[in-house]
Amino acid sequence: MMQGWIQIGLTLIIILAITPIFGGYIARVYLGQRTFLDRVLNPVDRLIFSLSSVQPQAQMTGWQYARAILFSNLAMAILLFLMLMLQGFLPLNPTGLGAPSWDTALHTTISFMTNTNQQHYSGETTYSYFSQMLGLGFMFFTSAGTGIAVAIAFIRGLTGRPLGNFYVDLTQAITRILLPISIVGSIVLVAAGTPETLAGAIVVPTLENPNISQSIAIGPIAHFEIIKELGENGGGFFAINSAHPFENPNGLTNLIQILAMISMPTSLIYTYGVIADNRKQAWLVFGMVFIIYVAFIIVTAVGEYQGNPLVNSILGSSQPNLEGKEVRFGWAQSALYAVTTTGTMCGAVNAMLDSFMPAGGFILLSNLFLQIIWGGQGTGTAYLFSYLILAVFVTGLMVGRTPEFLGRKIEKNEVVLTSFLLLLVHPICVLFPGAITLAFPEQLGGISNPGFHGLAQVVYEYASAAANNGSGFEGLADSQPVPTALWWNLSTCFSLLGGRYVPIVALLLLAEGMSQKQPVPFTTGTLRTDTVLFTSVTAGVILIMGALTFFPVLALGPIAEGFQLLRGA
Amino acid sequence: MNPVREIVRAIRSTLVLWLLVAVIYPFAMLAISQIAFPYQANGSLIKNAQGQVIGSALIGQPFTSDRYFNSRPSSTSYSTADPKKDETGVLKTGVSGASNLAPSNRALLDRINGKTDPDPKQAIAGDLPRLKQAGIQPTADLLYTSGSSLDPHITPEAATAQIQRIAQARKLSPDRLQTLIAQNTDDRSFGIFGEPGVNVLKLNLALDALS
């Protein structure tokens, strides 16, 4: 057991070490300071700008920035949808796959465009190498880049700078951050055992019974895998995602994947500290999230380590819950991966979340509800600082002072936007469609695990869509050709789009409003936001305002299931 | 700003970035991987003396007989099918999948314990009776299905629990088998990350090479 905790502890230490280095680098990129890649990449950037007729000096307003995001994302979505529907006529299709159903293609397109990568299909049997490499792989970069751009624009706005130019921020996110790391990372992954080939499935007779054949699905996986994690995308090449031995063959690849998915959201907090020139506040906010993150890991890992009491009574001893888990990862790496992937909105899995113990299910759902235990690529960081604004407002009310944040007054506009953003959009996108589905469990639900867990399956699917996470309690019958697939494909699109673009527009408008305010001078009466006390209040605001909305669901789902298991039924 | 110009810029930018990250990047990585690491890039395939591919070192195979170390139960039977009766097309593409059974689901216990039913189609053999009959003390990994359904490993404890049975069936000394298990165990990465696992396919190939 100790060995498992040592692995988790070492991973956390590596995360702490990476954050200031990587976060500092991102800040240098977006402050326009020199970086070591400039010599190679400046000409590349210039070429991209001239080919796409972008004037890099032109500043955008919040609304222009938002329109640029919407137009470019729409163009990308149309390109991807066409590729998916026409894959039967396109090359790189060794297994001869035809077009998916229109609703599957639509759901896949929207899901990948929104950086969610919720998958209502199996990679092996649905999409060709062309669709995966040239289609889904494209969205891996652009959706992640869009998230980073939003975070940077938001930080610029908060610190009183103009927001910047979306196309410049997107291009630099790709050429300076995502692509260089992906190139190095995919070579390391191949060396560690991940395949990278265009050959089709390999069929061999099995050793025990040569009359039975095994079909080994393969493909161009390594380059796909690294950006899948780094961009918080999470859409697996295969049905079973990073549990598949080709996607994630050993402890080293697993470590790389965990670091890749968590390094961006942790580092962006530090990037904020550099740009705002207040590293103390960045570390305080980082520490607050880190403490919750570690607590979540411990709860999940203990649950998995203790195992399923019903099965333990059969085994005659307490053994870890290995249902849906790989031997090479065991309880520790499976729990660490699960908490990280749901917290960072990556959504890749190396163990099946549906089969986690109720303690784990509780934590994973809480991650999706809170959205800031690191949070999505870029957007999570922006949410985090929106919570700070909300906390400033609440504490301002308590002490009777005009609330200020970073020397700017928080007024009606800011409070309306943040509370709308944090307290209304997410519950609407999760609970409304969830309630409709639960009202018609036979016709719409497709629940596979009966009882309390079934409720969690339905709510998880919408929470995952709205939080742009993409993981799932995958027993749910949401893939064609089952009858409930059409409803799932279309209804989750509402949550996917609502959970992505409404907050992005609100964040940009909020940032713009802040950047245009006159700074107020710092006096002894100013409420300091870079203190332990204020950070603790923020944590309270997050838990009370963010989590209580969803507490009834948690009580009826994983908590009730936990009591049921304890009773031994 | 002129909306037509905005749309044109969005389309041009989409195509340029597509060329960079979806065409140049993957094909460059394919070329580098195939040149520098051909064994890993092609799936760590195991070949026999005649040079025919007989499996992958990373992908498990089903083993349930007495003569072999048994592998974990799998919800897709390790992506296998009878080539003559493959109606669902498993062999065309290969598959992966998991049970996705919740810990509270009755079906999980039925799968482990087995279930009798007047309708033979509804009856479940159960992994626990099978292991008990083979004289194997069950460990968690031998009762629970894996995440990928392709798990190449069992735990060292699960392998040790099977030594007695293999020793009898193959008339080999238990010490010899213990050595084989140690030789075919994949350790943690750097001795730290992950869990040690006995590679069942490699172990059983080594077993066949002995006798």
Amino acid letter, residue A232: E
**Least confident residue range of A147-156, A207-216, A418-427:** A418-427
In a domain, A305, yes or no: no
| Chain B CB contacts of A68 below 8 Å | 6, 9-10
Residue-wise pLDDT for A71-108, tens only, equals: 999 999 999 999 999 999 999 999 889 999 999 999 99
Tokens 């039967």, located at residue: A88
Which candidate, A318, A305, A296, places its Cα nearest to that of A362?
A: A296
Confidence class for position B63, pLDDT limits 50, 70, 90: very high
Q: Cβ neighbours of residue A563 under 8 Å, at least 6 residues apart?
A: none
- Alpha-carbon distance A24 to A267, whole Å? 8
Which candidate, B41, B166, B105, places its Cα nearest to that of A321?
A: B105
| Chain A CB contacts of B7 below 8 Å | 71, 75
Ramachandran angles phi, psi of B46, nearest 5°: -100, 130
- Could you tell me the two tokens for B5? 């110009």
**Strand, coil or helix: B122:** coil
Tokens 């411990």, located at residue: A298
* Percent of chain A surpassing pLDDT 90: 85
What residues form DSSP beta bridges with A408?
A405
* Contact yes or no for A220 and B45 at CB 8 A: no
Confidence class for position B89, pLDDT limits 50, 70, 90: confident
Selected residues 127-166 of chain A with any CB under 8 Å from a CB in chain B: 133-135, 137-138, 140-142
Tokens 């593409």, located at residue: B93
**Strand, coil or helix: A537:** helix
* Percent of chain B surpassing pLDDT 70: 99
Rg (CA), chain B: 23
- On whether any CB of chain B is under 8 Å from the CB of A58, the answer is no
A188 neighbors A223 (Cβ within 8 angstroms): no
Tokens 């998230």, located at residue: A147
Most B CBs within 10 A among A323, A352, A458, A566, hence the mutation to make, goes to: A323
Most A CBs within 10 A among B6, B12, B14, hence the mutation to make, goes to: B14
Distance from CA of A295 to the nearest CA of B (A): 21
Residue-wise pLDDT for A296-318, tens only, equals: 999 999 999 999 999 999 988 99
- What's the structural domain count of chain A? 1
Amino acid letter, residue A31: L
B193 neighbors B38 (Cβ within 8 angstroms): no
**Could you say which of B40, B148, B208 has the minimum Cβ distance to residue A191?**
B40
Parent domain of A129: 23-277
| Chain B CB contacts of A223 below 8 Å | 25-26, 29-30
| Chain A CB contacts of B185 below 8 Å | none
* Percent of chain B surpassing pLDDT 90: 84
Specify the pLDDT at position B160.
95
Selected residues 1-40 of chain B with any CB under 8 Å from a CB in chain A: 1, 6-18, 20-23, 25-26, 28-30, 32-34, 36-37, 40
**Could you say which of B10, B54, B147 has the minimum Cβ distance to residue A324?**
B147
Ramachandran angles phi, psi of A272, nearest 5°: -55, -45
Nearest CA in chain B to A136: B22
A529 neighbors A271 (Cβ within 8 angstroms): no
CA distances from A390 to A343, A394, A422, A424 (A): 21, 6, 9, 14
B197 neighbors A327 (Cβ within 8 angstroms): yes
* Percent of chain A surpassing pLDDT 70: 100
Residue-wise pLDDT for B137-170, tens only, equals: 999 999 999 999 999 999 999 999 999 999 999 9
* Contact yes or no for B41 and A124 at CB 8 A: no
* Contact yes or no for B144 and A561 at CB 8 A: no
Confidence class for position B115, pLDDT limits 50, 70, 90: confident
The mean predicted confidence, pLDDT, of chain A is: 94
* Contact yes or no for A323 and B99 at CB 8 A: yes
Amino acid letter, residue B113: N
Q: Mind spelling out the 3-state secondary structure of A301-324?
A: HHHHHHCCHHHHHHHCCCCCCCCC
In a domain, A333, yes or no: no
Which candidate, A185, A277, A274, places its Cα nearest to that of A225?
A: A185
| Chain B CB contacts of A320 below 8 Å | 140
- On whether any CB of chain B is under 8 Å from the CB of A478, the answer is no
- Alpha-carbon distance A384 to A159, whole Å? 15
In a domain, A239, yes or no: yes
The mean predicted confidence, pLDDT, of chain B is: 93
| Chain B CB contacts of A308 below 8 Å | 103, 108
* Contact yes or no for B43 and A565 at CB 8 A: no
CA distances from A59 to A147, A149, A159 (A): 18, 14, 16
Nearest CA in chain A to B157: A327
Question: Does the pLDDT of residue A500 top 80, yes or no?
Answer: yes
Specify the pLDDT at position B121.
82
- The pTM (predicted TM-score) of the whole model is 0.96
* Contact yes or no for B17 and A142 at CB 8 A: yes
Instruction: Give residue A125's region: left, alpha or beta (phi > 0; psi -120 to 50).
Output: alpha
Nearest CA in chain A to B203: A207
Selected residues 133-172 of chain B with any CB under 8 Å from a CB in chain A: 138-141, 143-155
The H-or-E segment that residue B197 falls in is strand B197-199
* Contact yes or no for B13 and A326 at CB 8 A: no
Rg (CA), chain A: 23
- Alpha-carbon distance A119 to A235, whole Å? 7
Specify the pLDDT at position A509.
94
- Number of Cβ within 10 Å of residue A521's Cβ equals 6
In a domain, A199, yes or no: yes
Residue-wise pLDDT for A109-140, tens only, equals: 999 999 999 999 999 999 999 999 999 999 99
In a domain, A554, yes or no: no
Ramachandran angles phi, psi of A404, nearest 5°: -130, 145
| Chain A CB contacts of B29 below 8 Å | 183, 186-187, 190, 196, 220, 222-223
- On whether any CB of chain A is under 8 Å from the CB of B48, the answer is no
Q: Cβ neighbours of residue B29 under 8 Å, at least 6 residues apart?
A: A183, A186, A187, A190, A196, A220, A222, A223
Most B CBs within 10 A among A53, A214, A457, A564, hence the mutation to make, goes to: A214
Q: How many residue contacts between A and B have a Cβ separation below 8 Å?
A: 400
* Contact yes or no for B192 and A251 at CB 8 A: yes
Distance from CA of B89 to the nearest CA of A (A): 9
Specify the pLDDT at position B14.
96
Tokens 């802040």, located at residue: A514
Distance from CA of B5 to the nearest CA of A (A): 10
- On whether any CB of chain A is under 8 Å from the CB of B194, the answer is yes
| Chain B CB contacts of A449 below 8 Å | 100-102, 104-105
- Alpha-carbon distance B147 to B142, whole Å? 13
Question: Does the pLDDT of residue A525 top 80, yes or no?
Answer: no
Q: Cβ neighbours of residue A333 under 8 Å, at least 6 residues apart?
A: A7, A251, A254, A350, B193, B194, B195
What number is the average pLDDT over the span A421-445? 91
In a domain, A67, yes or no: yes
* Contact yes or no for A223 and B146 at CB 8 A: no
Residue-wise pLDDT for B9-24, tens only, equals: 999 999 999 999 999 9
Beta strands A202-205 and B197-199 are unpaired
In a domain, A18, yes or no: no
Residue-wise pLDDT for B189-198, tens only, equals: 999 999 999 9
What number is the average pLDDT over the span A493-512? 95
| Chain B CB contacts of A138 below 8 Å | 17-18, 21-22
| Chain B CB contacts of A451 below 8 Å | 104
Nearest CA in chain A to B5: A53
Question: Does the pLDDT of residue A155 top 80, yes or no?
Answer: yes
A362 neighbors A287 (Cβ within 8 angstroms): no
Distance from CA of B122 to the nearest CA of A (A): 17
Long-range contacts for A414-421 (Cβ within 8 Å, ≥24 apart)?
A: A414/A389, A414/A510, A414/A513, A414/A514, A415/A389, A415/A390, A417/A506, A417/A509, A417/A510, A417/A513, A418/A386, A418/A387, A418/A389, A418/A390, A418/A393, A418/A510, A419/A390, A420/A506, A421/A383, A421/A386, A421/A503, A421/A506, A421/A507, A421/A510
**Least confident residue range of A340-349, A395-404, B110-119:** A395-404
Distance from CA of B201 to the nearest CA of A (A): 8
Distance from CA of B118 to the nearest CA of A (A): 24
Specify the pLDDT at position B122.
82
In a domain, A258, yes or no: yes
Specify the pLDDT at position B1.
65
| Chain B CB contacts of A146 below 8 Å | none
**Could you say which of B21, B30, B40 has the minimum Cβ distance to residue A138?**
B21
Selected residues 359-418 of chain A with any CB under 8 Å from a CB in chain B: none
- On whether any CB of chain A is under 8 Å from the CB of B75, the answer is no
| Chain B CB contacts of A216 below 8 Å | 43, 55-56, 59, 79, 94
Specify the pLDDT at position B109.
93
Instruction: Give residue A454's region: left, alpha or beta (phi > 0; psi -120 to 50).
Output: alpha
Confidence class for position A569, pLDDT limits 50, 70, 90: low
ipTM value, please give it: 0.95
Question: Does the pLDDT of residue A250 top 90, yes or no?
Answer: yes
